[in-house]
Chain A
Amino acid sequence: MSTVKSSSENLTLNADGAGSDVVIQSNGTTTATITAEGLLQYNSGYGSAATAYGCRAWVNFNGTGTVAIRDSGNVSSITDAGVGSYFVNFTNAMPDTNYSPVHSYTNEVNVQHAVGFLSSLATTYLGVQYYNAANAANSVDKSIVAIAVFR
């Protein structure tokens, strides 16, 4: 076994030269690449080393009772704007509003089903709202809201 290590300073892998990639291979097969453009590509069971698109922000929060964030990444806060209406505020803004948020939420016990949708998309925040599926005039709080943003 050979090991590359730096005991006291940063370890730099430098593919010196314009357009050069940093390539990691195992037995002659490429398993991961950081391209000259900064794309991270890896196999990890995908079948080939393909570009991975990162989750740029995520949060899991309780929107009922004492509204609270359970855990998060790249989220500075959430805003409780009223029943069933929340905003997620990013610590570091998105480069544009072409990002793709994915969100899921609970259906509370003994409560009619709810529907949720994105209410706003901005570079610094996104908004979500939840309504009673049988009566759109009734907003409802959700005990588990989980949101991930890909870009």
Chain B
Amino acid sequence: MNERIIYETEEGGVAVIIPAPECGLTIEEIAAKDVPEGVSYHIVDASEVPSDRTFREAWSWE
């Protein structure tokens, strides 16, 4: 499962959900369970999430 779930936090930042390998749930099931209720989210390929975290707090979703 090389995907990530992205959602915007109440503080205006971006949270990234990393699925556990072999947890037995689909990415959609993980999103339904682990994204805060009522918050919209996006499923993206892991390669779309920057690995450079120097300005992690400045990340935004477009």
- Using CB atoms and an 8 Å cutoff, list the residues of chain A in contact with chain B: 59, 61, 64-69, 71-72, 75-83, 89, 91, 124-125, 141
Contact = CB atoms under 8 A, between A and B. Distances in A.
A76 B53 contact: no
Nearest to A75: B20
Q: Ordered nearest first, which 3 A-B pairs have the shortest CB separation?
A: A89-B34, A80-B16, A66-B51
B24 A80 contact: no
Nearest to A84: B56
24 contacts: A59-B20, A64-B53, A65-B52, A65-B53, A67-B16, A68-B18, A69-B18, A69-B20, A69-B21, A71-B21, A72-B21, A75-B20, A76-B23, A77-B20, A78-B17, A79-B15, A80-B18, A81-B13, A82-B13, A82-B57, A89-B17, A91-B20, A124-B33, A141-B56
B46 interface: yes
A76 B20 contact: yes
A82 B57 CA distance: 6
